[in-house]
Structure 1
C-alpha cells in the first residue's frame, strides 16, 4: 500500500527504514515538545535564560535567520512565475516546502517568545498601527497562508489523491493562478523582511543598530530584504544537496543548482556593496553624532568583538560572493557548496549581532557589558523546529512529486536497439 502512494516511476527505501528514520526524528521532536509544554504551562519564560536585558535571544535570532533563509520560496516563485525563468520549475516545489517549514517553524517559536500565548491574538485585534512589528505580524501570517496555498497543489498531486477527479481539477486550476499567488507572496514577504530590519534601525537607544533613514525607512529595511533574497536561493540548494546525500539520488541537476547559486551570489554582491557603505556611514557619522566611538561598540571581552563583524563581511561575505559569481569556481561542486554555506552563515551572524550584541552593549553611563548564553529550554524548541522540518521534508519527498527531474536523472530508460538487417550486418563485417 505504501508503494502505491509514491510518485510514479521512482524508487524509495523500504517502509521499515523509513519508519526507523521517522523514529529518530520523532525523539528529537518529542524532546522539544516537552520543553515547549513546560514553558507554556508551568514555568513560563522563567525557565529560559532570557531576562530584562535580553528580551530578544536565541529564539528571535533563530526566527530571523530561518525567515531570511526561507526567502528562497517567494524569490524563486517571483523568478519563475513573474520573470518566467522556466529552468527554476525543477526546484520551485522544494523552495515552497522549505519556505513553508521556515515560516511555520518561526510562528511556532514565536508562540513561546510572546510570553503569554493565550494573549497572542491581541496583536491582531488591538493592533498598534505605529509599530513596525504589527506590519511584520500581519505580513508573516498572510504569507504563511500564501505558502500553504502554494504547497497545496503539490499535495493534491499525490498519486492516490490525483485519482479523485475533483482534487485533480482543483490542483490543475491552482497551477493556473499561481503567478498571482506568487506575486502576492513576493509583496508580503518583501515588506515583512524589510520591516524586521527597519524595526532595529529605528531603535535610537541602541547605537549599534541605529541607522539613518531613506525616505520613511531606515537603511536596515533594504539591507534585510537584500540579504534575505541573497541567502534564500543558496539555502534551497543546500537542502537539495543534503537530500541527495541522504537518498543517494540526483534530485536536481547541477546546472539548476549552479543557476540558483549564481542568482544568490549576484544578489550577495549587491548586498555587500550597500552593507559596506552602511558600515562606513555608521562608523563615521551615526556613531560620532551619538557621542560614541568604534571601540565602545566592541570592547567587551564577552565574545562580541570585531571578529563577528569581519567574519560576516569578509569570510562569510566577500569570499562566498567571489565563489558564487565566478563561473570557474561555481563549476567546482566543493567550492560552490562552500560558498552557499558561507553565504547562509553570514546572514545568520548578521541576525545574531542585530538581536543579541545590540542588547549587550551598555546604553547608560552606569551600565556595563552583559553576556547571554541560551539554555536548554531555548535550544530544545529550536532544534525541534529543525526536526519538524526534517519530518515534513521526508514525507513530502516520499509521497509527493517534489522533484520533476528525479526520474530523468536516476531512471533513464534504455532505448532498445533495433536488430540489423542481413545487408547491414554484412556491410558492418566488411568495414571491420
Structure 2
C-alpha cells in the first residue's frame, strides 16, 4: 500500500525506517505539545516574560520564521511575475517551506496569545490604529494563499490523481498560480514591512526607533528587503540538507546557482541599505534622543558591539559576496557556508530588534535587563521545527516535490523496467507537476 502512494520512477527508504524517523521526531514534538498545553491550561506564568519582556523568545522565533519563509513569496514573484522559468524546479519546495514557516508563525502566536479561542477578537474588534492589526490581516491572508498553493501539490499524489475530479482541480489550480503568487507578494510586502515598522515607531525605545519615509520608518522597508534576500537562502539550505539526508541530487546545479546568485545580490544590496540606516541612527537619530550609540552596547557581553559587527559584516557582507562571485557560489562548501551565515544573520537581526530593543535601558540611570526563557518557551519554540520536519518527510515521500528527481536519479533495476525509459510527459502533466 505504501509503495503505491510513492511517486512513480523514484525510490524511497523502507517503510520501517520512515516510521522510525517519524517516531523520533514525533517524540520531540510531543514534548513541545506538552509545554504548549501547560501554557494554555495554566497561563503565561509558565514563561519568564515580565513587564520588561512582553515580547520575548516566541516573538523572536515568530519574526525569524516569517523572514525565512520569505523565499516562498519572492521565488513565486520571480517565477510567475518576472518569468524566471527555471525556478519551476524548486518552487514546490519553496512553497512547502513557506507554508511550514507561516503555519508555524500562526502556531507561535496562538501560544503567545494565551487564550487562542479569543484569537478572532483581532479581526472582529480590530484596532485600526495598530500596525499589528494590519500584520494580523496580511499574515492570515497570506497563509491562506500558501494553503491554496500547497493544495495542488498535495493533490499531485499519484493515487489521488486517479480521481478525475482531483486531477482536473489540480490542473486548474496550477493554471491560476500566477494570480496567487502576485497576491502573495503584495500581502508579504505589507506584513513583512509592518513587522519592522512596529519596532521603528517605538520612540520610547531609542535603540529601534527610526526616521520615516512618508509614514513608514526605515525598518518597514528593511524587514521586507531582508526577507526577500535571506528567504531564498533558507530554501537552498533546506534543499541541500534534504539532498544530504536522502543521498540524492534533487535540483540541478544551474538552478541552485541561479537562486544563490539572486539571493547574493539581494543580501549585498540589503546590507548596504542596513549599514546606511545604522550609520544614520548612530550619528543622527540616537543623538537627537539625547543618547550616544555606544550607550546601547557598553558593559554588556550579551549585547556588546560584537553583535553589530557579526550581523553586518560576518553575516551580511560576507555571505552576500560569497554568493555573488561565481567561484565561491559554485563551490558547494563556500556556498553552504554563505547560506548558513545568511540565515544566522537575519535571525540575529530579528533577535536584536526584539530582545535587545527591550533589554537596552531607555534612560541614562537605567540598567540592562537580562532575560532567560523558561523550558516551556524553549519547548514550544522547538515544536514548530519538529512539525516542519515531519511535514517535509511526508511531502517528500508521497508527493512529486522535485520535478527533476527522476531525471537526476534514474532507477535501473530489474524490478522496475518502467523507470529505464521514462516517457515524455504530456503538456497537461507538466503543468500539474509544477506548483507555486
Contact 2:200 2:217 in 1 (8 A): yes
Contact 2:411 2:420 in 1 (8 A): no
Contact 1:204 1:210 in 2 (8 A): yes
Any residues of structure 2 matched to 1:205-220 within 5 Å, and which?
Answer: 205-220=204-219
CA distance in 2, matches of 1:194, 1:412: 46
Give a deviation string over 1:347-400, Cα, whole Å, max 9, x none: 000000000001011113543211011121111011111000000000000000
Give a deviation string over 1:203-246, Cα, whole Å, max 9, x none: 00000100000011000000001111000111001111111111
TM-score (norm 2): 0.93
CA distance in 2, matches of 1:415, 1:116: 56
Displacement of 1:119 after TM fit? Answer: 2.2
Any residues of structure 2 matched to 1:267-306 within 5 Å, and which?
Answer: 267-306=266-305
Any residues of structure 2 matched to 1:200-349 within 5 Å, and which?
Answer: 200-349=199-348
Structure 2 counterpart of 1:38: 38
Structure 1 counterpart of 2:8: 8
- Runs ≥4 in structure 1, deviation > 4 angstroms? 412-416
Contact 1:300 1:369 in 2 (8 A): no
CA distance in 1, matches of 2:317, 2:411: 40
Aligned residues: 415
Displacement of 1:110 after TM fit? Answer: 0.6
Displacement of 1:50 after TM fit? Answer: 0.8
CA distance in 2, matches of 1:259, 1:355: 33
Gaps of 5+ in 1: 417-432
Structure 1 counterpart of 2:92: 93
SS at match of 2:257: helix
Q: 177-186 vs 252-261, which deviates more?
A: 252-261
TM-score (norm 1): 0.94
Structure 1 counterpart of 2:184: 185
Contact 1:302 1:371 in 2 (8 A): no
Structure 2 counterpart of 1:124: 123
SS at match of 2:126: coil
Any residues of structure 2 matched to 1:397-408 within 5 Å, and which?
Answer: 397-408=396-407
Contact 2:29 2:383 in 1 (8 A): yes
Structure 1 counterpart of 2:194: 195
Displacement of 1:412 after TM fit? Answer: 6.7
SS at match of 2:303: coil
Contact 1:22 1:391 in 2 (8 A): yes
Any residues of structure 2 matched to 1:62-73 within 5 Å, and which?
Answer: 62-73=61-72
